[in-house]
Amino acid sequence: MTESAERIDTTRLQAVARAYTQSAVFYAALDVELFTHIHNGSTTEEELITATTLRQIDVERLVTCLLSMEMITWSDDGSLVNAPDVDKFLVKGTRRYAGEWMMFTRPDVPKWFRMTELMLSQHGTRLGMYDELTVESAKKYHQATSSIGFGAARRFVRTVDLSERRHLLDLGGGSGAYSITAVETFENLRATVLDLPPVVVATQEYIADAGVGDRVDTVGADFTQGEFPGPVDAVVMASNLPIYDGQVIAGVVARAFRALESGGEMHLIGEMLDDDRSGPLDSAMWGMNELICGSLGRSHTRAEVVGYFADAGFVDIDISEFVPDTLARCVGTKP
Ligand SMILES: C[S@@+](CC[C@H](N)C(=O)[O-])C[C@H]1O[C@@H](n2cnc3c(N)ncnc32)[C@H](O)[C@@H]1O
């Protein structure tokens, strides 16, 4: 027997079987604003009992789990501190608070546990959850996602130089995060956010709040059909890749190519898989999320995305990490 065979046991399998417990503890901590209380000075369990109004035993259980999950740690003086990412993004009332996004998929939890039934029923439509979008639900959606979107958009303008570009088309632009941030960064740039008709009502509010209404406009349309407004010299499509299958994405990339002027560039930013589909896990799970959301979408590999660009006619295609283990960025130029 080899050394590795001797060591095979059920530890990993048991951890996976109960992985949902971590999500549940995390949600409960956010419900009682535990990280916010710690940030604001309730750094002992006694103080957390007062701040959360929970029983001593439940504070002890929560703190124990969160210590093991490395969400909080003990400081040298025996008080509790948030982990750096927790403190940056999960303190309510701060600018970068992302709690709403963390909670965004919580209502889907019962469906994840009905996955087999959903698969056997073969449900799913092309647009999935976007079929039923209303102005109200679109506003709620972007209230939750915009903090993440603007963070990614700031990364985009640090990574991509659009100073020589005049018009950016932002496909599925949602809150307008990429367009707003790009025109704020590049003074000669205008942008058009194309998103579904109920969504652009919300987009217009973000544009107005940022005071860039003279340089960013919106088009209410379904990007899976019809030609795109053009000519433009830059296109970005961010964070909607797994919503659709290969045929739809290839069609979007081909129509973006047609909307571009010669020399123009397209950036597709999304959760992409390694070519052997063995990870990253988050990219794989976003594909499965589409079963839960009722679409026919799936995760795409980097090679597939490069293929969509090449088939459309793009050249100088390059793919790189955008947010490690989360998002990759594919760029191509129209000859
Ligand atoms: C996760 S959000 C990303 C928003 C934005 N690109 C960002 O990164 O901040 C996905 C967006 O794609 C839009 N979308 C999905 N399917 C679409 C379609 N068929 N036509 C137009 N927009 C679509 C959604 O309405 C939503 O605003």
Instruction: Give the whole-angstrom CA distance, residue 171 versus residue 56.
Output: 50
Q: Determine the distance separating the centroid of ligand 1 and the alpha carbon of 162, expressed in angstroms.
A: 22
What was the pLDDT predicted at 130?
85
Question: Ligand 1 test: best mutation among 168, 196, 247, most atoms within 8 Å of CB?
Answer: 196
Q: Taking a C-beta distance cutoff of 8 angstroms, is the pair 189, 162 a contact?
A: yes
The answer to whether residues 321 and 216 belong to one domain is: yes
What was the pLDDT predicted at 2?
57
Instruction: Give the whole-angstrom CA distance, residue 237 versus residue 228.
Output: 13
Q: Taking a C-beta distance cutoff of 8 angstroms, is the pair 248, 126 a contact?
A: yes
Q: Taking a C-beta distance cutoff of 8 angstroms, is the pair 298, 242 a contact?
A: yes
The answer to whether residues 276 and 320 belong to one domain is: yes
Angle between helices 197-210 and 177-185 (to 10 degrees): 30
Instruction: Give the whole-angstrom CA distance, residue 240 versus residue 242.
Output: 6
Q: Determine the distance separating the centroid of ligand 1 and the alpha carbon of 43, expressed in angstroms.
A: 40
HEC string for 54-120? CCHHHHHHHHHHHHHCCCEEECCCCCEEECHHHHHHCCCCCCCCCHHHHHHCHHHHHHHCCHHHHHH
If you take atom 1 of ligand 1, which residue's CA is the nearest one? 239
The answer to whether residues 195 and 317 belong to one domain is: yes
The answer to whether residues 231 and 283 belong to one domain is: yes
The answer to whether residues 123 and 66 belong to one domain is: no
Average pLDDT, whole number, for the chain? 96
Ligand 1 atom closest to the Cα of residue 236 is 6
Question: Ligand 1 test: best mutation among 157, 168, 195, 223, most atoms within 8 Å of CB?
Answer: 195
DSSP conformational letter for 242: G
- The answer to whether position 27 is within a domain reads yes
Instruction: Give the whole-angstrom CA distance, residue 91 versus residue 251.
Output: 41
Instruction: Give the whole-angstrom CA distance, residue 333 versus residue 318.
Output: 10
Q: Taking a C-beta distance cutoff of 8 angstroms, is the pair 302, 318 a contact?
A: no
Beta bridge partners of 167: 190
What was the pLDDT predicted at 5?
63
- Among left, alpha and beta (phi > 0; psi -120 to 50; other), residue 197 is alpha
Q: Determine the distance separating the centroid of ligand 1 and the alpha carbon of 330, expressed in angstroms.
A: 17
Structural domain boundaries, residue 201: 115-333
Global confidence as pTM: 0.94
CATH number at residue 241: 3.40.50.150
Instruction: Give the whole-angstrom CA distance, residue 105 versus residue 129.
Output: 13
Question: Ligand 1 test: best mutation among 193, 240, 286, 326, most atoms within 8 Å of CB?
Answer: 240
What was the pLDDT predicted at 134?
94
CATH number at residue 66: 1.10.10.10
The answer to whether residues 76 and 189 belong to one domain is: no
User: How many alpha carbons fall within 13 Å on the CB side of residue 216?
Assistant: 29
Instruction: Give the whole-angstrom CA distance, residue 111 versus residue 220.
Output: 30
Q: Total domain count for the chain? A: 2
User: How many alpha carbons fall within 13 Å on the CB side of residue 237?
Assistant: 29
Structure tokens at 31: 């419900």
Low-confidence ranges of the chain (pLDDT < 70): 1-5
- Predicted confidence (pLDDT) per residue in 132-188, tens digit: 899 999 999 998 889 899 999 999 999 999 999 999 999 999 999 999 999 999 999
- The answer to whether position 154 is within a domain reads yes
